[in-house]
Structure 1
Amino acid sequence: MFSVPHLDSAESFLKSKPASEAASAATPEVSKRSSFAQDEAKAESEILNTLLARRSVLPADSALSEVSDVALASSRRTAEAELQTARLRAEAEDKNWLPTIGPEISLTSLGDVIAGLVLEQVLYDHGRKKAERAYAAADVEVAAVTLSQDLNERSFTALALYIKGLRGQERAKVGADGLKQLKHFERIVQGRIDGGVSNKGDLRMVRTKIQTLDTRNDTAREDAATAISELQAMTGTRFALTPAAPLPNQAYPAVEPLEVVKARAEADRAVALATVERARQLPGLTAGASLTNDGNSGSLNVGNDVGLGLGTGARLKAIEASKDIAARQVDEAREDGDRLRKRLESNIQSLSRQEAEAQNLAQEGRKTYKLFEAQFRAGQRSVLEVVDVYEQSVLRDLDRVDAKYDRLLAQLELARDLGLLADGDAI
């Protein structure tokens, strides 16, 4: 399906690397832990579970699946680092309910230095510490969905380039077959001119059609070469163009689009942040102990971060309103996701119909061409009439190629939005 550029064979590729690298190149890594895997000792995340359970709709062992796998394997995305950072922050917040301890050094008015340790324990904080833990956990979920979106987008980009290469290759093949036949007509017209039957205007018309189709062929070949070069630059792999069939229409399970999943995670994070902000406005109770070389002491402290004032009530109402905003944003994302899915599904059906119609028109065009050709040999049709009919059949065939690959791209676009271009446990 694909080969590594600038190497004569897989054997030379393995021999050119150290043994450890060659072994890893020959044997795919199967023990990689998924980015969405969770610690069994902690509460499970429904969002991480749904990301982990998603499965690619790309047929196994197909050309599309291989392109996607290579694109994902060659990925070095910032979203991966951001997810790891979010996990570390969540791990740090997981024990925020424990007492804090820190050094204390002070200089008295008499010039004495007092050193010691200060121990503090929150007794009541209106749920602030719990909300901070919830915020960190939701931050992990947001980062996880972002990673899934990022890798599905990368897979789609690679597949779109591959399909662009396939489209250019097939268009060039259809055009080359048509060009061959048109040149045959050119020879016929030239012979008729030499025999005094036709005029040079007929030859000029045929050559114009040849030049137009030749230009289309050159553009198709250039598009294919450019797409494959881009794909090679993206993945470090030179792919051979193997035909790819459209995806089955029933390949999409009823899962939430990634944008909706992300909106839910962001809403959870926003609610947790609102809870933290609300707790900051209200007085809490903290126990403290000081152990110094000048003696020990203990205290109970009541207070908050920002102090109470005439604007406290309004701030609390604004914080509560932010929770409603988060819920509305989820509903809005769900509505947009449903609309986008319906639009793409309708577009896929429309392109499927267009492909079938273009194929039927091309077949009918070829039948009409054969009829006109027979009539031309019988002296009932002019050569230009035959050429026009043949050109129309070629154009209909090119329309069929475009509809075929537009349909496949729409299917992949829908799969990307649903997070179904990569297995969740492979991310």
Structure 2
Amino acid sequence: MRSSLKFVDLHEAVSVVNSGDRIFFQGAAMTPNELIDALCARHAQLRDVDIVQIHTDGPARYMEAPCNEAFNLFSCFVGPNVRKGVNANKGDYIPIFLSEIHLLFRRGLLPLDVAFIQVSPPDRHGYCSLGVSVDVAYPAIQYAKKVVAQVNPQVPRTHGDGIIHVSQIDVAVAVNRPIHTAQAPAFTEVEQKIGEHVAALIEDGATLQMGIGSIPNAVLHNLQGHKDLGIHTEMFSDGILPLIENGVINGKYKKLKRGKIVTTFAVGSEALYDYVDDNPAVHFKEAAYTNNNALIMMNPKVTAINSAIEIDLTGQVCADTIGTYQYSGVGGQMDFIRAAALSEGGKPIFAMPSTTKKGDSKITAQLMPGAGITTTRAHVHYVATEYGVVNLFGKSLKQRASALISIAHPSHREALEREMRERFKM
């Protein structure tokens, strides 16, 4: 077993990629941008190189001319840096649950030639950390023929699955710069109201799943009076830190990894990364674990809080497209929505403003033409807007429509009622 890393320069590191290869890019805050940029610099020497990723941060030069002549993107989630390219037919999207992406590698459906990752320097035993993005990077490393790593002393060393021995790394390059950070914008008055409504649904002792953004932060802001909350989530950000400091989040009643925060990746500030660095209270697990229905539902009162782009009057949720425009991805929404419904005392919740920034209703008579159904109407229970909360579970189509209209923006309710009467011949 090799006990040391083989360091080379960037040019030599990316020379392991050949035409016709398939490459995996680690993503989010851990995106190995230096390796990616060096690969793009070789575009004239390459053809038909497939790229598989979830969401990467930083520039995506492989989507831009002339680099895109050499690279074909197959993304399992569409982030801001590739969104325009994917919708301009310069890349493609694979609809898939986050919990199942690992199967593409393990079953040989998308065999990987090379994995580009970013890791911490090795400890005295020769183990590096994948930092704050373990998700599907962990199985990618296991099944890629070659692993190329940029080794960065500013990568937090995290506990859990994201440990890789130097013997698993074929080539390494030295990098020293902060990993990507993100600051959630301050929440608006509307988002604060939504946060209040959702927080009122959360019971003491619940296990939470929520993402990053204004509404999750508004919800967390309204949980200061709660007790004994736990975290088993796909990802988290800075919003949980005050609740940890105040003892609100302690994982006391979790059945799976009691007392531990379980996640697959994190994105936030340097303060967040300082908190998770060498912290045994936070376990970064691969997505096949964090997003496994059977494991999630073992916890009590799983409360999954997710967003939507639009919801129709029957409860169908579109959360990843705007009409035919691919905006994001399926991700782990269904993984947690279903698990929350199956958990003892669990609550699957959709939280969103009643209108878009343009003033259009997000509760609609029908989804936009071409829109994808991210979560079926049979899976939807609670829906919250700034005008209140309704529970669709067990309600008929007509009852659902009436309930959703009651939390739509007042300026759209009359039109939605007309649509309801016409649809259901009332």
Q: TM class, shorter-chain normalised?
A: under 0.3
- Please identify which structure carries the higher strand content: 2
Report the TM-score when normalising by structure 1. 0.18
Higher RCO by CA contacts (8 Å cutoff, separation 6 or greater): 1
Report the TM-score when normalising by structure 2. 0.18
Query: Which is greater in Rg?
Result: 1
- Please identify which structure carries the higher helix content: 1
